[in-house]
Structure 1
Amino acid sequence: MAGFGAAVAWVLGAGCTVEAVDLEGKKCPCADGYYCDSTSGKCVAGDKPSGGTGGTDGGGTGGTGGSGGVAGSGGAAGSGGVAGAGGAAGGGGSGATGGTGGTGGTGGTGGTGGTGGTGGTGGCLSTQKLCSGACVSKYSTTYGCSSTTSCSPCPAPPSGTNSQASCTGTGPVCGLSCTSTNFGNCDGEFGNGCEKALNTSDPAHCGKCSRTCSMANASSTACSGSSCAPTCNAGWGNCNESSKLVPDDGCESNLNTDSSDCGACGNVCSSQGGLVSKFSCFSGACGCSTTAQCEASNGLSGVSCNTTSHLCVCAGTTCKLGEACIKSGPDAVCSCNGGAACSTGSLCCPGAGCVNPLTNLDNCGGCGRKCGAGKSCSNGQCV
């Protein structure tokens, strides 16, 4: 035994060199510098990790469980004794319990709506102006019409001048207006109002200011009842008695040739009696110039026009002025306005029929020649 102990002592006391052994991935138990992974049961280099940290309160995720402790190393064998068993591996640490989620905050209350501003005061209309805080008409003489510098009344023209204060023009401005259509402010003066009589005497202001009566085809002229009254030359007529709103044209109608005023104003050479064509005007009397003006229907036989006398000829019979041909049985006969022919000395006038031109007031000396009030027709003349 003494020899065995000496041998052992030699072995233990001798200086031995032990090479390092890699235990990574080896089964547990493990040497120092390694720990036992409780999940795989194998050695892992490094220090054993501590247990997972608990989740943060407010709904945090639970901590990961800690790995089991490394198994204890076996106790060294006592002299002649049996080696002690290794300690059991420590259990893994429990994961921390997650915290309770925090409660959401209460929603804020909406702010109160602001109050709308007060509406502004509307201005006056374009036809008004402001006077003493009120809108008044620009066409009121009481407030000076459209004056921008005054709301005082317009001045009144002198009394007895046929006029009154008024708002005039496009402004309008203070002015005057005539109180009668028979007077006009022809000189444009305010001080004498409407000084001119328009219906009596002045042919330079007849019916309205500056309306002059024309002397065309007239020997003289006058203003009467706001109308021009010219004395026409022979063969001319004042048939277009112009309104006082338009210029006068004097004696404008040629009574010898105008088929609308033939021989007298308003005597129209028409197709009386159903004539195919209207008569023309020759020397103040309606007559024919073509056969068509003499026949009541096309193709009537025995009809012609004497182009010298301008009288119609019906089956050889020469008609009187104004007569035309109509069919009576197989023949063409003279007719006045579709009726019988006129007797000797009578005149056929459109619309009037057969008249005596020597005495007829409306056809004195010719169709349409009317005698005025208080006059008579004698021997074809108004007297």
Structure 2
Amino acid sequence: MKLSKLTAKSNLLFVLSFFIFCLSGHMPGVAQNNSDFDVISVFETKGKIYGDPLVTDDTTVVLGCHRKQVYFLDATGNEIKSVKTGGWVHAAPSQLHDGTVAVGCYDRNVYYFNTRGDILKKFMPGGRIFSKIEQFKDGTIVFGTNRKKIHFIKPDGSGYHFTTRKMVHGGITILDDERLVVGTHDNIIYMLDKLGNIEYEVPTEHWIVHSKPTVLQDGHIAVGSYDKHLYIFDDHSQQIKKVKVNGAIHSTPLQLADGTIVFGSLDKSIYLVTPNGEIKKRIKTNGWVVSSPRALNDTTFCIGSYDHNLYVITSSGDILNKFDTGGKIFSTPALLPDNTIVVASNNKKVYYLRLNTHDIPLSADSDKKKEHLKPKL
């Protein structure tokens, strides 16, 4: 009889403990209701999301997923339209100069949409497309494929290509509208002119998988490699600086206004580095950091981790806030003009979040300012 009472009491304590645990919001895979974030909306997709969400000029949010879909959402997270493709959509969408949205697909097509989600046209250059499409001022678009090519396609449909030794997954950065820089799976960072001719090469010891070259304030270029180094180089002096970290770098580096360079690594860390290449802080998370940082203002950024959290961090390395999305974060967060943060999680959900603290003045123009930096080469 005493044993039965003891067992019953133990069971009751277990149930109560589990109930309190659930109420605390710490169940694995469940997004916590963090006090410093307001959840504006949550949109559920049909598949995992790897490409960065795009915010267009009219505040449409566009993103693809691995269930062969491209989604068009409004500024509050409501679906405008979803479009079925013939393959995974891994690449991030781009908005071209005329307002058209372009995105490459695993079905080997480049799709052109308006911001309502209507397909305007598509063409097949050959090869699966991983990289985000970039555009020169004359309308020529450029992107890489798994067929070892970097394609240059003119507005009239004609084009040419540069051939690499392995596939091109890395992001492309256009410099001064005359040339570009891109990393590839053949362990080389290429500087090409607008006609696809090699101007300069930076050898690495492993792939450049996703990291897009970033033009720093002094004109140098920074890009991460799977050889566990951040490369900082200037093609005039041919001086190459390497910042050693403890894991492969999938993330695209971001430079904040005070010069701090931030990026994530597969060693589960977020690194803050000085312009001289010295590591000033390493922030450890509980999962790979393949996401790239997004500037929220001149001294604050956000970045996702495979530990399910979106982190808000200052340029001095202080974690201000974090939000548990309930799934691994692969892509880079986006920022709407009203300072709503859009973050996609691999639990097939897109979160529209707003920081309700007044200590962090946000600026959706922070990244646009960075994009217009001209390299002093």
Q: Using CA pairs below 8 Å that are at least 6 residues apart, which structure has the higher relative contact order?
A: 2
Same fold (TM over 0.5): no
Q: Normalising to structure 1: TM-score of the pair?
A: 0.24
